[in-house]
Structure 1
């Protein structure tokens, strides 16, 4: 199954207050395995960056001044996500900004039925615990050492790993699928069990009972009183 994990950075908390999307990062997963395909853009929000938002993601007015508006890249994003489910953390927030930008650019909004919210999954799976992306990375041992500031593509990459763990994790010792962006093919294989060089190989143990063992077993059975299988044999 194909899924898109994505994250956004914005100028504020709500598009209804005039805030805009400034970065979007998304990556493709097939059967919960990253394929290597991704989508990433910075967008000129056509407004000043509030200091509170700048402290979160570090995207300044000067940096964004020569970036394209979202409307220029909207079709490329639509082509990337296709009709796949979209995974996000606190997805209502990201969907709100994404759909506001799509509608502003003259495109249809993404249906909410496609939304998979990892925050909701985490709250169900770990009630009473912390559910931020940082907290979930710590819980599942996901390396977030490069996350000095929020960044859409980096956060999407971290979220993809957290999403796998939230939905069951990968089986140890089994490569479930290896996706290649060139061929789109998946290969399933078991881990090589060939003994290491120089390690002695033991011959298989014989499992058939010896005549002496069979005789001792028959003598034991003969001492049993009214065994259940005798009743079944009589009925059969």
Structure 2
């Protein structure tokens, strides 16, 4: 199962009022395991960067001036995304900007059926708690000390770790239960790495009874013992 964790940085909060995407970072997971494949691009938004947005991600007009526009990289992005499910934190925000940029390029929207929102997952798993990316990293013991400012690829890397924890942790798909347990992973797709799980064949227990000859031999052996320990114990308790 292939999934893409992604994050975006933008010039503001609403693409319908002229805000644009300036960065996207994507991490590939296969069976909940990062493969090392990534997609990361900066984009020239062709508009000034508001000071409030620059304070969040640190991307200035000067830095973005020589970067390509979104349309120059859209085909490479869509090829990387493929038809995989797309995971984001507060995903409607990121999907909104991604689909707006696709529309400006004359490309089809990405269906919201492919959207997985980790904020919604966190709310279900930890009701009443804080659900920011920083808060979830703290909850799951994920090191975020290098996150001085927001960055699309860095945040996607952190979110990939959070998503793995939200979906069962690094032991997802592994079980030590009996073979007839309904939670035992029987499908290789449920096991990280996708290797085939060995199928255990449970045999009926075999019963062993001593024969008459074996009983006679045992009795003769016991009768030949000198000062057996049970006699000594009998003397101590007498």
Instruction: Please report the TM-score for the alignment, with normalisation by the length of structure 1.
Output: 0.75
Query: Any idea what the Cα deviations from partners look like across 1:179-230, whole Å, max 9, x if unmatched?
Result: xxxxxxx4479xxxxxxxxxxxxxxxxxx9999xxxxxxxxxxxxxxxxxxx
The answer for the alignment partner of 1:2 in structure 2 is: 2
Q: Would you say 1:79 and 2:79 are equivalent positions?
A: yes
The answer for the alignment partner of 2:104 in structure 1 is: 104
In our comparison, the structure showing a higher alpha carbon Rg is 2
Aligned to 2:168, the other structure's residue is in SS state coil
Query: Any idea what the Cα deviations from partners look like across 1:42-92, whole Å, max 9, x if unmatched?
Result: 000000000000000000000000000000000100000000000000000
In 2, are the aligned partners of 1:6 and 1:88 still within 8 Å (CA)? Answer: yes
1: distance between equivalents of 2:135 and 2:40?
25
The answer for the alignment partner of 1:149 in structure 2 is: 149
Unaligned runs of 5+ in 2: 175-190, 198-207, 216-238
The Cα shift of 1:17 comes to 1.1
The Cα shift of 1:177 comes to 3.2
In 2, are the aligned partners of 1:122 and 1:131 still within 8 Å (CA)? Answer: yes
Instruction: Please report the TM-score for the alignment, with normalisation by the length of structure 2.
Output: 0.74
RMSD after superposition: 2.1
The Cα shift of 1:3 comes to 0.2
The Cα shift of 1:171 comes to 1.8
Unaligned runs of 5+ in 1: 179-185, 190-207, 212-236
In 2, are the aligned partners of 1:6 and 1:25 still within 8 Å (CA)? Answer: yes
The answer for the alignment partner of 1:43 in structure 2 is: 43
After the TM superposition, which residues 121-132 of structure 1 pair with which residues of structure 2 at under 5 Å, given as runs?
A: 121-132=121-132
1: distance between equivalents of 2:20 and 2:171?
40
2: distance between equivalents of 1:134 and 1:89?
11
Q: Which runs of 4+ in 1 moved over 2 A?
A: 186-189, 208-211
